[in-house]
């Protein structure tokens, strides 16, 4: 039995500890906002927070996440400045990469309330978007950092 | 087709309903009452809009949402003509049904940047008809002339008596009316939504993670499946040793399907484990030696062959022979993967008398037909549920992933979700075809081109997908942008040489234009320099018959500061292309690191003329996204082959453009009265040539192959230095 704490809720799961966290979150817990994109840590679609840090949940085994605080896109409050900024800037196109983008950006803003352009690019460069929403992601992060500072 | 279902839906449908009957001879707008009668005559009208007693308006969308914004732009068209209150508009995704076929194509599918082009007129008429009926109904209730009443944002007003009634309150009387034959459409000045930046209806779902993509589908009692597919193109399984797999906990069944071996289990991880534990002996395949080198060699061998003539103006050979100033260049472009961020997947449940498919599909009619072929069920027993698509770009027009899910589900008797890994997504794509072009041109003593000969060796997409369109053996996709070359040259010839290889090819965002814009526009640029003319001026002079082309070129150039010297170290290049009835011009500013060979794109200024504008924000987003995909292909993407198969497995070997490589992108929209153009694809084609032309302006080398990797740049610089 593995016990996981996701978005403040406890789950007991009967599975092997080496299953990648992304599949446990998505298919076992049915929190499908977290996406699979590459399984190799190359795209960022699966980004979640484990103990406050953005991690690629495809590169984290469920065993390693046991007992730690896990936050997924579903655990980000609706009025979070990033969610508001994403809507305001109309960032999403197909939308598939966006939960990962937002989770990555959330970590950035939690450590740096007013990130520079360089800091934004550095933090976000591991997250791919085939639809090409990068310019709007940048604008949205800037907007959210201003909002968040208020 | 499914008149019984439709009839039931109509009877159940509370509210005031408008249907459209799409028939081979066109479409007809019908009320619920008329629809009932029409069905008796064999039409199958389907509901497109419903005004509900609670004042909400439900609009059905027959196109797939893959990022391009149709779940917003199509409802906008109906809502605007209807004078609906946009805040009360809800959208409903159409099932696969005859009545939701595209009126131009006769199939329910999304592609070719055509959603608005094909749906604009019928949707406007549907909205306008409903508006007129609501106004007539209100006039009847008040007993005043309809001409004195006015529809406004979900209500009808009679200003003389200061009375107002909501659409919801008019549901009953409006339902009793006949549909006006020729409802009057709004004038452009009366539009409230069309032509503005309306926020996406799907934006919240796509921000909070609740949007359901195909891969997110959960059906009770569902199994997961993974498919082991042939090792190499055309290879067949000669032996399957699955004894070890059978010990995997959670494995339910191993099924042999047309495309390989499917492992079905309680969890996806168990399915994968079973696949890994199985040893499959594959036969040799179609061409065990197939590699980058053998493919390149084949293209070269085909180049001298006679092709089919796709266009012939004047006499190119004589003009070329007579000229003293000539240019002769070759271009080799790679195979590309779609790499949608959501890998292929599909969920299916096949029962005795019913089949359900949950699919991120661009092609509902194709999905329905695939399921029909496999299950033998009647179309009305097959239910296609279209989910959000995590990117499409043409990949999801194909049916391979649907076929796998339906065959597996049929064998297993339970719902099955088939998930592809990223590796499988790269290895079993229908690739953008690689291609080789040779272009020759001649200039007269004033620097005007007198001849343009373009020969392209390219695999055919259409021969597989739409064989009926292969007139005289020409694949229209392979020569798009060539056979309609707009430059005013007296002698033009376009020749197509079809090459068949084992590599499957398919539609990739902007299709033939994705490669032909590069060859034409870099060649035109080279010609301009050869003619000692400004590349912009050179193009404008050759486009006097195409003022829309001139306009986008001029606008992009003006906004980019063309003519003023760019900052030191920056090269500036321009390109334009017409595709899907839209003109796009782009000016690129780049710098080149001579040491590493890396190209850095600093800015792209883009001008687009797509005729009437529906949603300005969608246009900007699509131009931006298209440009970025174009840059990604231009700088980074190519599929690698070896040992008879695709070697590329994941983003480490096929990286996409990332944020750090993305330039500033400006989009300028040209307002024009031209016919409606598409918007999903036309942003892609001009990016690569604009960048290549800018590279030339920066460091004086011509890159004629893609992608323009640092290595390719270094090589070109070395060659240039050697000559100097
Ligand atoms: S799925 Fe984890 S980084 Fe791509
Ligand atoms: S929005 Fe489609 S992949 Fe990013």
The predicted-structure confidence for B75-108, as pLDDT tens digits, reads as follows 999 999 999 999 999 999 999 988 899 988 889 9
Which of A19, A23, A38, A102 to mutate against chain B (most B CBs within 10 Å)?
A38
Q: What is the pLDDT of residue B26?
A: 78
Instruction: Establish if B617 touches chain A: CB-CB under 8 angstroms.
Output: yes
Of A26, A35, A83, the CB nearest to B207: A83
Residue contacts between A and B (CB atoms, under 8 Å) = 173
Element (H, E) at B127: helix B115-142
Q: How remote is the CA of residue B192 from the centroid of ligand 2, in Å?
A: 29
B260 φ, ψ (degrees, to nearest 5):
155, -145
Buried b / exposed e over B426-465, threshold 16 CB at 10 Å, is bbbbbbbbbbbbbbbbbbbeeebbbbbbbbbbbbbbbeeb
Q: What is the pLDDT of residue B98?
A: 85
What percentage of chain B carries pLDDT values higher than 70? 97
Q: How remote is the CA of residue A114 from the centroid of ligand 2, in Å?
A: 25
- Beta-carbon separation of B269 and A19 below 8 A: yes
Q: How remote is the CA of residue B516 from the centroid of ligand 2, in Å?
A: 26
Looking at residue B610, the DSSP 8-state letter turns out to be -
Beta-sheet strand order (sheet of B163-166)? B149-152, B155-158, B163-166
Which of B209, B340, B415 to mutate against chain A (most A CBs within 10 Å)?
B209
Q: Taking 80 as the threshold, does the pLDDT of residue B14 lie above it?
A: no
Angle at the Cα of B356 from the Cα atoms of B350 and B358, rounded to 5 degrees: 125
Q: Taking 70 as the threshold, does the pLDDT of residue A64 lie above it?
A: yes
**Cβ(B156)–Cβ(B211) below 8 Å:** no
CA–CA min distance B621, chain A (Å): 8
What ranges do the domains of chain A cover? Answer: 2-73, 81-147
CA–CA min distance B660, chain A (Å): 6
The reply to whether A2-73 and A81-147 are identical in fold is no
Looking at residue B347, the DSSP 8-state letter turns out to be E
**Cβ(B396)–Cβ(B362) below 8 Å:** yes
Q: State how far the Cα of B188 lies from the Cα of B185, in Å rounded to an integer.
A: 9
How much is the average pLDDT of B670-674? 91
> What's the distance, CA B97 to chain centroid?
21
Q: Could you give the ipTM of this predicted complex?
A: 0.98
- Beta-carbon separation of B199 and A96 below 8 A: no
Q: Which residue puts its alpha carbon closest to atom 4 of ligand 2?
A: A129
CATH architecture of A2-73: Roll (3.10)
Superfamily of domain A81-147: [2Fe-2S]-binding domain (1.10.150.120)
How much is the average pLDDT of B523-533? 98
Instruction: Give me the sign of the Cα torsion angle B122, B127, B132, B136.
Output: positive
Quote the pTM value: 0.96
Q: Which residues line ligand 2 (CB under 6 A)?
A: A 92-98, 129-131, 133; B 67, 341, 391
**Cβ(B219)–Cβ(B346) below 8 Å:** no
Q: What is the pLDDT of residue B402?
A: 98
> What's the distance, CA B38 to chain centroid?
34
- Beta-carbon separation of A133 and B204 below 8 A: no
Residue A55, SS3? Answer: strand
- Beta-carbon separation of A96 and B391 below 8 A: yes
Q: State how far the Cα of A131 lies from the Cα of B391, in Å rounded to an integer.
A: 7
Q: In degrees to the nearest 10, what's the CA dihedral of B236, B239, B240, B241?
A: -150
A63 lines ligand 1 (CB under 6 A): no
Q: Which of A39, A55, A60 to mutate to test ligand 1, by most ligand atoms within 8 A of the CB atom?
A: A39
Which of B198, B199, B208 to mutate against chain A (most A CBs within 10 Å)?
B208
B560-583 residue pLDDT tens: 999 999 999 999 999 999 999 999
- Beta-carbon separation of B207 and A127 below 8 A: no
Q: How far is CA B519 from CA A132, B246, B394, B404, B442, in A?
A: 24, 53, 22, 38, 16
Q: In degrees to the nearest 10, what's the CA dihedral of B65, B66, B69, B75?
A: -10
Q: How remote is the CA of residue B418 from the centroid of ligand 1, in Å?
A: 19
What percentage of chain B carries pLDDT values higher than 90? 90
Whose tokens are 């909070």? That residue is B208
- Beta-carbon separation of B392 and A94 below 8 A: yes
Q: Taking 80 as the threshold, does the pLDDT of residue B39 lie above it?
A: no
Q: What is the pLDDT of residue B11?
A: 47
CB contacts, 8 Å: A76 with chain B: 208
Q: How confident is the model at residue A122 (pLDDT cuts 50, 70, 90)?
A: very high
CB contacts, 8 Å: A129 with chain B: 341
B 481-500 near A (Cβ less than 8 A)? none
Q: Pairing relation of β-strands A53-56 and A47-50?
A: antiparallel
Q: How confident is the model at residue B21 (pLDDT cuts 50, 70, 90)?
A: confident
Q: For residue A35, which ligand has an atom nearest its CA? A: 1
Q: How remote is the CA of residue B598 from the centroid of ligand 1, in Å?
A: 26
How much is the average pLDDT of B37-49? 72
Element (H, E) at B130: helix B115-142
B260-304 residue pLDDT tens: 999 999 999 999 999 999 999 999 999 999 999 999 999 999 999
- Beta-carbon separation of B659 and A121 below 8 A: yes
Q: Taking 70 as the threshold, does the pLDDT of residue A149 lie above it?
A: no
Q: How confident is the model at residue B9 (pLDDT cuts 50, 70, 90)?
A: low
Q: For residue A97, which ligand has an atom nearest its CA? A: 2
Beta-sheet strand order (sheet of A53-56)? A9-13, A2-6, A69-71, A47-50, A53-56
- Nearest atom in ligand 2 to A91's CA: 1
Q: What is the pLDDT of residue B706?
A: 98
CATH class of the domain whose range is B214-284+344-419:
alpha beta
CATH class of the domain whose range is B293-335+431-720:
alpha beta
> What's the distance, CA B300 to chain centroid?
30
Structure tokens at B685: 């084609």
Q: Taking 70 as the threshold, does the pLDDT of residue B4 lie above it?
A: no
B343-372 residue pLDDT tens: 999 999 999 999 999 999 999 999 999 999
Q: How remote is the CA of residue B469 from the centroid of ligand 1, in Å?
A: 41
- Beta-carbon separation of A131 and B391 below 8 A: yes
- Beta-carbon separation of A34 and B209 below 8 A: yes
Q: Which residue puts its alpha carbon closest to atom 3 of ligand 1?
A: A41
Q: How remote is the CA of residue B592 from the centroid of ligand 1, in Å?
A: 31
Of B207, B209, B660, the CB nearest to A125: B660
- Beta-carbon separation of B665 and A39 below 8 A: no
Q: Which of B200, B211, B341 to mutate to test ligand 2, by most ligand atoms within 8 A of the CB atom?
A: B341
CA–CA min distance B601, chain A (Å): 14
Domain with CATH 3.30.365.10 in chain B: 7-196, 214-284+344-419, 293-335+431-720
Which of A26, A84, A95 to mutate against chain B (most B CBs within 10 Å)?
A95
Mean pLDDT, all residues of chain B: 95
How much is the average pLDDT of B634-655? 98
Q: How confident is the model at residue B228 (pLDDT cuts 50, 70, 90)?
A: very high
How much is the average pLDDT of B501-515? 98
B307-320 residue pLDDT tens: 999 999 999 999 99
CA–CA min distance B622, chain A (Å): 8
Q: What is the pLDDT of residue B44?
A: 64
How much is the average pLDDT of B42-52? 80
Q: How confident is the model at residue A19 (pLDDT cuts 50, 70, 90)?
A: very high
Q: Which of B71, B388, B391 to mutate to test ligand 2, by most ligand atoms within 8 A of the CB atom?
A: B391
Mean pLDDT, all residues of chain A: 96
Instruction: Establish if B250 touches chain A: CB-CB under 8 angstroms.
Output: no
CA–CA min distance B664, chain A (Å): 7
Q: Which of A97, A132, A138 to mutate to test ligand 2, by most ligand atoms within 8 A of the CB atom?
A: A97
Q: What is the pLDDT of residue B40?
A: 62
- Burial class of residue A12 (count of CB atoms within 10 Å of its CB; 0-12, 13-18, 19+): exposed
Q: Could you tell me which of B121, B67, B69, B113 has the C-alpha nearest to residue B91?
A: B69
CATH architecture of B7-196: 2-Layer Sandwich (3.30)
A15 lines ligand 1 (CB under 6 A): no
């Amino acid at each position: 039995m593995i016990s996981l704490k996701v978005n403040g809720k406890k789950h007991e799961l009967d599975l092997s500890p080496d299953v990648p966290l992304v599949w446990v979150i998505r298919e076992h817990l049915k929190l499908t906002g977290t996406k699979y994109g590459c399984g190799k840590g190359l795209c960022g679609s699966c980004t979640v927070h484990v103990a406050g840090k953005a991690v690629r949940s495809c590169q984290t085994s469920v065993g390693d996440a046991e007992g730690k605080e896990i936050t997924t896109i579903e655990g980000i409050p609706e009025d979070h400045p990033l969610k508001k900024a994403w809507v305001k800037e109309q960032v999403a196109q197909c939308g598939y990469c966006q939960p990962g983008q937002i989770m990555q950006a959330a970590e950035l803003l939690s450590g740096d309330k007013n990130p520079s352009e360089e800091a934004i690019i550095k933090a976000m460069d591991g997250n791919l978007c085939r639809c090409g929403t990068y310019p709007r992601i940048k604008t949205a992060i800037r907007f959210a950092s201003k909002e968040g500072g208020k | 087709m499914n008149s019984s279902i439709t009839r039931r839906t109509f009877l159940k449908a509370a509210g005031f309903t408008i249907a459209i009957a799409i028939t081979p001879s066109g479409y007809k707008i019908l009320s619920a009452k008329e629809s009932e009668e029409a069905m008796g005559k064999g039409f199958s009208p389907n509901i497109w809009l419903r005004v509900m007693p609670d004042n909400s308006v439900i609009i059905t969308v027959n196109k797939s949402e893959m990022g391009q914004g149709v779940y917003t732009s199509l409802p906008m068209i109906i809502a605007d003509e209807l004078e609906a209150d946009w805040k009360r508009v809800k959208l409903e995704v159409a099932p696969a049904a005859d009545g939701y076929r595209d009126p131009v194509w006769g199939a329910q599918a999304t592609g070719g940047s055509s959603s608005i082009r094909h749906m604009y007129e019928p949707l406007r008429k549907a909205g306008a008809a409903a508006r007129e009926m609501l106004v007539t109904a209100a006039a009847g209730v008040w007993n005043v002339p309809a001409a004195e009443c006015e529809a406004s944002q979900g209500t009808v007003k009679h200003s003389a008596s200061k009375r107002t009634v909501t659409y919801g309150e008019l549901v009953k009387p409006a339902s009793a009316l006949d549909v006006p034959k020729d409802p009057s459409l709004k004038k452009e000045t009366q539009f409230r939504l069309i032509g503005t930046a309306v926020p996406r209806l799907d934006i919240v779902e796509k921000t909070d993670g609740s949007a359901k993509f195909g891969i997110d589908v959960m059906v009770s009692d569902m199994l997961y499946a993974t498919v082991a597919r042939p090792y190499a193109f055309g290879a067949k399984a000669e032996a399957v040793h699955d004894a070890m797999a059978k010990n995997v906990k959670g494995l339910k069944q191993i099924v042999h399907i047309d495309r390989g071996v499917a492992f079905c289990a309680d969890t996806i991880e168990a399915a994968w484990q079973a696949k890994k534990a199985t040893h499959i002996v594959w036969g040799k395949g179609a061409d065990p030696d197939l590699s980058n080198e053998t493919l390149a060699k084949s293209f070269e061998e085909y180049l001298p062959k006679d092709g089919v003539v796709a266009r012939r103006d004047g006499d190119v050979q004589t003009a070329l022979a007579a000229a003293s100033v000539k240019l002769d260049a070759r271009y080799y472009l790679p195979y590309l993967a779609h790499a949608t961020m959501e890998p292929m997947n599909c969920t299916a449940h096949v029962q005795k008398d019913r089949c359900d498919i949950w699919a991120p599909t661009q092609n509902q009619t194709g999905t329905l037909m695939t399921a029909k072929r496999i299950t033998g069920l009647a179309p009305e027993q097959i239910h296609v549920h279209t989910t959000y698509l995590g990117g499409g770009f043409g990949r999801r027009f194909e049916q391979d992933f649907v076929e796998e899910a339906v065959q597996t589900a049929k064998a297993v008797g339970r719902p099955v979700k088939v998930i592809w890994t990223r590796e499988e997504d790269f290895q079993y794509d229908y690739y953008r075809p690689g291609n080789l072009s040779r272009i020759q041109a001649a200039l007269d003593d004033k620097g005007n081109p007198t001849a343009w000969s373009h020969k392209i060796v390219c695999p055919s997409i259409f021969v597989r997908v739409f064989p009926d369109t292969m007139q005289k053996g020409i694949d229209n996709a392979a020569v798009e942008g060539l056979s309609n070359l707009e430059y005013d040259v007296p002698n033009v010839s376009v020749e197509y040489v079809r090459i068949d290889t084992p590599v499957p090819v398919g539609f990739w965002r902007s299709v033939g234009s994705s490669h032909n814009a590069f060859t034409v526009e870099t060649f035109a640029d080279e010609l301009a320099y050869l003619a000692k003319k400004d590349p912009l001026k050179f193009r404008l002079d050759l486009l006097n018959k195409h003022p829309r082309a001139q306009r986008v070129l001029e606008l992009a150039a003006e906004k980019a500061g063309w003519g003023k010297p760019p900052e030191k170290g920056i090269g500036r290049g321009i390109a334009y292309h017409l595709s899907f009835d839209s003109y796009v011009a782009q000016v690129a500013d780049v710098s080149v690191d001579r040491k590493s060979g890396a190209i850095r794109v600093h800015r792209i200024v883009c001008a687009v003329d797509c005729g009437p504008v529906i949603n300005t924000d969608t246009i900007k987003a699509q131009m931006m996204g298209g440009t970025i995909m174009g840059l990604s292909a231009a700088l980074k993407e190519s599929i690698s082959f070896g040992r008879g198969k695709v070697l590329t497995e994941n983003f480490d070997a096929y990286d996409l453009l990332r944020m750090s490589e993305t330039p500033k992108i400006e989009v300028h929209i040209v307002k024009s009265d031209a016919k409606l153009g598409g918007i999903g694809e036309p942003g892609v084609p001009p990016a690569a040539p604009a960048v290549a032309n800018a590279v030339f302006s920066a460091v004086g080398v011509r890159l004629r192959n893609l992608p323009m990797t640092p290595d390719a740049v270094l090589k070109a610089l070395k060659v240039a230095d050697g000559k100097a």
